[in-house]
Structure 1
């Protein structure tokens, strides 16, 4: 069908006997390109109108489809128009360069299809990860992994179809890939280890983008910014980027503090030995204060007990969990708890202990300084 249009137009232009062949060809090509440009403009306007029309609908996938197909649709119009112009030029000139028109048209159709599919994958990824758009927002890490896999499948399939269209045997290419894969595997074993490490991270999901992670085995701590197929980017707390090969995550322990349910306050408070008579009342009041504190999770372990006779203090253990997991909010709560404990200790006339030493001197031994003072007196 695509060949009938230029043939009909050539037949129509041949009836213009008053013009030379060059002028007829020039007018024909100009007319085809002009019609192509006008058609592309109309198609673009129609799709934009449809996008505005479907914006108010509850189904968001039609918006994603129209957004992904708009540019490829314009490209399709130009592809067909340029093909018709090239076919018309070939029928006039019989130049060898125009013999590749059929192959270029076929490759162009494949390229436009790939462009459309990649656009749909991109729009779907954006739709599923944007809060408020999709009915159920999915995890960005999972959606990103699936979209990368789909892109890889589309691109590899397109390359194989391209090669088949150019006359290369796909079976031969696949056979070469099977034999060469062994050599490539040995040469790129580290790259493959990182790839499968990234695959394991995407499947097991020990962390996701935005999580704060740390490794007790390595000096790794920060916020995950990107999980790629070869490496993971972590932003440390001093704002430096840290690039970790994915293979490392298969051999190290990873801690994910972002998934903690509570934060812990664990403090040891010491009062003086001379305040031992106030110990029971101080412990009781601290426990009551924590049980009634609005920011303390009383469903978790709550311990306030006289802990030990230390060298210079009587120690009290305070062990509780906050409801919040936010780092800044946690420290505000911890400050408030410690200030209230300070008030309780002072309200009982007790004081906090600090390291002291008591020197016992046997009777009959006179200190030189003391003797001097006595002699002066």
Structure 2
């Protein structure tokens, strides 16, 4: 049909008898290219006008479809116009390059179809994860995985169709791929393991982009930035990128703190043994304060109890959950809770305990045959003292006086009046 149209146009120009055949062919080709440019310009503006009109409607899918097909439609117009111009040139020329017009047209058509489908997939993906366009946007990781699979299917199908257009048998290619896939599988088992690991991540969704994850089995902790088919990119808290092969996540435990519902306050607070009489009221007031605290979730477990007699304190266990899960806000709430607990203890005349030691000294009197006495006796034996009884009495009195003075100093400097240690010393005197 194109040849007949070109023959009519050529004969019409030839009837003027002015131009040669080469000039006539050039004018026809120029007219086709100019017409193609005009049609492409009109098509682009028509689609743009439709986009502006449909943008006023509530439906968002028509906007996405028009935006996706706008460029491929313009490309198709140019492909068809250039093909016609090449056919005209081939009609009056025997150049080898023009014999590939049909093959190039088929490849161009396949490319435009694939391009249009990829643009549609991209637009749909952007809409599904957009909180502006969707009331309940879908999970980005899931949508991204489906988008990648869809693009892979489109590209593989296009490659097979293109090979079929070149004269290759698709069944033979598939058979070769089945045989060669065994060798490729053994040679690239790690690559395939990472590929299927990524597929499992997209399928099970233990985490998604933007989640904070960590593993107790490996030194992995940070925010997920990208989940690829081979690697998962994690930004650690010191702002360094960490690239983890996807196969790793199939063999390790992964914790996802981003999905926590609350953060926990778990503290053990000790008060002095001298405040044991106020323990019940202190515990009750702390529990009441937590129940009334606006940032504590009372629907979760809340425990405030006297826990144990520790070495130097009476321990109180405080166990509660905050409403917020944000790290910074959690520490602000925890600080407020601890300060209020301290105020409750002080209001009851108590104090927060700290590690202390109390030393008890015995109060036995030394017998007359102490080491000093024995040394005195030996001295007397050597010197031949004639009055041993007088010497022994004087030494014993001096020694007992020294011991009483040491005990008084120990009691005066090591303990204070009213302490448990002071009471123990007084009780053991027997005076």
Shorter-normalised TM-score: what interval? over 0.9
Equivalent position SS for 2:274: helix
Q: How does 1:71-220 map to 2 (within 5 A)?
A: 71-220=71-220
Instruction: Give the 3 Å change call, closer, same or farther, for CA 365–17 of structure 1 in structure 2.
Output: farther
- Residue 318 of structure 1: SS of its match in structure 2? strand
Measured on the aligned residues, the alpha-carbon RMSD in Å equals: 1.9
The offset of 1:233, in angstroms, is 1.1
Measure how far apart 1:21 and its partner are.
2.2
Change in 2 beyond 3 A, CA 1:13/1:85: farther
Equivalent pair of 1:7/1:88 in contact (CA under 8 Å): no
Q: CA contact under 8 A between 1:6 and 1:84: conserved in structure 2?
A: no
Corresponding residue for 1:285?
A: 285
Indicate how the Cα distance of structure 1 residues 309 and 29 shifts in structure 2: closer, same or farther if over 3 A, else same: same
| Structure 2 unaligned spans of 5+ | 364-402, 413-431
Q: Is the 8 A contact 2:3 2:91 kept in 1?
A: no
C-alpha separation in 2, matches of 1:289 and 1:21: 101
Which digits, 9 at most, give the CA deviation of each residue in 1:285-330, with x for residues without a partner?
A: 0001011111111111110001111111111000011122122221
Residues 1:365 and 1:77: Cα distance change in structure 2 (over 3 Å): farther
Q: How many residues align?
A: 372
Partner Cα separation in structure 2 for residue 117 and residue 320 of structure 1: 53
User: 2:351, 2:158 → 1: CA distance?
Assistant: 78
CA distance in 2, matches of 1:138, 1:4: 55
Structure 1: state its 5+ residue gaps: none
SS at structure 1 position matched to 2:275? helix
Contact 1:13 1:28 in 2 (8 A): no
- Please state whether the residue corresponding to 2:92 is helix, strand or coil: helix
Deviations 1:69-104 (A, max 9, x none): 000011011101111111111111121110000110
Matched residue, 2:45:
45
CA contact (8 A) 1:302 1:320 kept: yes
Q: CA deviation at 1:201?
A: 0.7
**Deviations 1:262-301 (Å, cap 9, x if unpaired)?**
1110000011111111111111100010111111111111
Structure 2 CA distance, aligned partners of 1:211 and 1:74?
41
Higher alpha-carbon deviation: 326-335 or 111-120: 326-335
Whether the 8 Å CA contact 2:301–2:320 is kept in 1: the answer is yes
Structure with larger Rg: 2
Deviation at 1:57, TM superposition (A): 1.1
Name the CA shift for 1:232/1:181 in 2 (closer, same or farther; >3 Å). same
Check if 1:239 corresponds to 2:245: no
Match for residue 255 of structure 1? 255
- Separation of aligned partners in 2, 1:3 and 1:185: 53
> Bigger shift: 176-185 or 90-99?
90-99
Shift of the alpha carbon at 1:58?
1.4
Is the counterpart of residue 23 in structure 1 residue 12 in structure 2? no
Distance in 2, Cα, partners of 1:165 & 1:109: 12
Query: Counterparts of 2:130 and 2:4 in 1: how far apart (Å)?
Result: 47
Give the whole-Å Cα distance in 2 for the aligned partners of 1:99 and 1:11.
24
Higher relative contact order (CA 8 A, sep 6+): 1
Cα distance in 1, alignment partners of residues 404 and 121 from structure 2: 92
Residue 62 of structure 1 pairs with residue 56 of structure 2: no
CA distance in 2, matches of 1:253, 1:8: 77
**Contact persistence 2:125–2:143 (CA under 8 A):** yes
